[in-house]
Amino acid sequence: MLWQEAVLSLAERGNEQATTFVFNRAIHACGQARRWQQALQLLDQLQQERLRPTTITYNSAIGACEKAGDWKRALQLLHALSEQPLSSTQVTYIAVISACAKAEEWQSALFLLLDLQQSRVQHNVAIWNAAMSSYISRGLWQQALDILAEGLCRQQVEADVVTYNAMISTCTRRGQWQLALSTFASLVSLSLQPDLVTLNSVISAFGAAQRWEEGWALLLEMPKRNFKADSFTFTAAINTCQSGQWELSLAALEYMRMQALQTDVAAYNAVVSTCGTASRWEQSLQVFKELQFILQADVITYSAAISSCGEATQWLQALTLLSELTLGRLRLDSFAFSSVIRACGKADLWEKALTLLSQLPRHHLQAGQVVYNAAQGAFVDHWQMAVALFCELLSQKLGSATSGAAAITACGRAGLWNLGLCLLEELRKHVVKLDESVYLAAGRNFLGPWQRAQDSLRTLQQSGLQP
C-alpha cells in the first residue's frame, strides 16, 4: 500500500472508528516511504483516539525513524515503549541500533546492546550480527569489531558463521589479512561449517596477503565442500594474482565467460592490472578493449591500462588512453596522470611530462606526492628541472625520500655533487624518515668523484710527488 493511500483512507473514514491494525498498516507504509513525520503523526493520532498501540505499532514507528536516520526519536520511542505494558522485541532493538549506526552513534548502539542483558528481550547472536552488519555497511569497521568483541566476551554470545563472516570481511577490507585468516582458522577449529560468503572472503584475504597459491587451492577445493563458485569467488581469485600470475587471471576470466557467470568491471579491472604488473601490456590492452565492447570502462580500468603501458615504456599508448579518459565523462584522478608522466620520463620526453604536469589544474586535480615523484623521475637527466621541482615539493611539505633520491641522482649525473650534498642536507631537515634509496643515490653519484680524487692522490704519492 502506498503511504498516500494509507493516510487518505484514515482521513476520509468519517465517523467510522479505525482499528489499531489499520493505523499499524498506515504507519508501516509511511516508514517504507521514509515519511517518518507522517508516521509519528499517525502514532499520536492513534493515541488521541484512545486506541491501544501494540509492539508492532512502535516497531513500525521506530522503523520509520531508522530509515530517516533519526536516532534520537528512535531512542525516544524505545523509551516510550518501555513505559507501556508491552514487550520490546529483537526487531525493536535492531531498528534502533541501525538508526544509531546511520548517525555513527556507535556508543549509543553499544549501550543498547548491553541493555539487553537487563531487559526481558530474548537475545541471541542474531541481534549482534545485525548490529555488526549495520556498521559494516557504513564502513565503520572498527566499531563493528568492538561490538563483536563486546558480544563475545561480556555477553557470552556464541558466535555463528554469520558472525565470523562479518569479522573476516571486515578485517580483509581494513587490510588486516592476518587477523582475517586467523579468524577463519578459529571458525574451522570450532567445527562451524563455512559457507560461500566465508570462502569468498578468505580468498580475498589470501589475495591481500599475496598468497595466490592458497587462494586458488581453496577455490579448487570448493566442489569437494559442495559449493559452486560464483562471480565474486572468481573475482577474488583473480585479485590474488596481482604478483604476476597473468596467465591464471586470463584463464579465470575466460572460465567465467564460458560458465555464463556475471563478469563485472571489477573482474576485468583485476585482470588488466595483473597483466600490467607482469609487464604484459599487450594482453592488458586486449582485455581493456574487450571490456569496452561488453561493459563500460571506469576510471580504475583506464588507470590500470595506462599504468600497464607506462611501465612498458609505451608512452604513446598511455597518452592515447589518457586522451580518451579526459574526453569522456568519467571523473579523472591523478594516478592516471602520474602513470603517463612516468612513461614519458622513461622515454626521455621531459617536455611532454612537464606539459602533463601543467594540465592538472585544468582538470581540477592537485599534483600530490605520487605525481611529483613521477615527474622527478622524468627530469633525472635535467638537473635544473629536477632541483626546481624538488624545492617546490619541500615548500608544499610534500618532500619524500623518492623525490629526494631523484633530485640527488640528477645532480650526480650533471657532476654537481656539491649541490647534491646540499639537497641531501635539506632533505634530512624536512623529511622525518629517509629510506635507503636516498643514501644509495648519494653513494652512487658522489662516490665516483671521491674515488677518483683518492686514486689521483695515490698516483701522485706513488710517483714521489707531494700534493
* Its pTM surpasses 0.75: no
360-417 per-position pLDDT tens digit: 888 888 777 778 777 777 787 888 888 888 888 778 777 777 777 888 888 888 888 7
pLDDT given at position 456: 43
Give the number of other CB atoms < 10 A from CB of residue 51: 17
284-294 per-position pLDDT tens digit: 999 999 998 88
d(CA 178, CA 176): 6
CA end-to-end distance (rounded Å), the chain:
102
pLDDT given at position 134: 64
d(CA 281, CA 304): 10
Is the pLDDT score of 210 beyond 70? Answer: yes
Most confident option among 11-15, 241-245, 379-383, 445-449:
241-245
Helix axes 383-395, 401-413, angle to 10 degrees: 150
Query: What is the secondary structure of 304-318 as a DSSP string?
Result: HHHHHHHHTT-HHHH
Using an 8 Å Cβ cutoff, are 58 and 82 in contact? no
pLDDT given at position 65: 85
Phi–psi pair at 113, nearest 5 degrees: -65, -40
pLDDT confidence bin for 312, thresholds 50/70/90: confident
pLDDT given at position 453: 44
Helix axes 20-32, 36-48, angle to 10 degrees: 170
Question: pLDDT higher for 146 or 160?
Answer: 160
For the segment 329-333, the average pLDDT, to the nearest whole number, is 80
47-72 per-position pLDDT tens digit: 888 888 888 888 888 888 888 878 88
The three cell numbers of residue 406 are 631523484
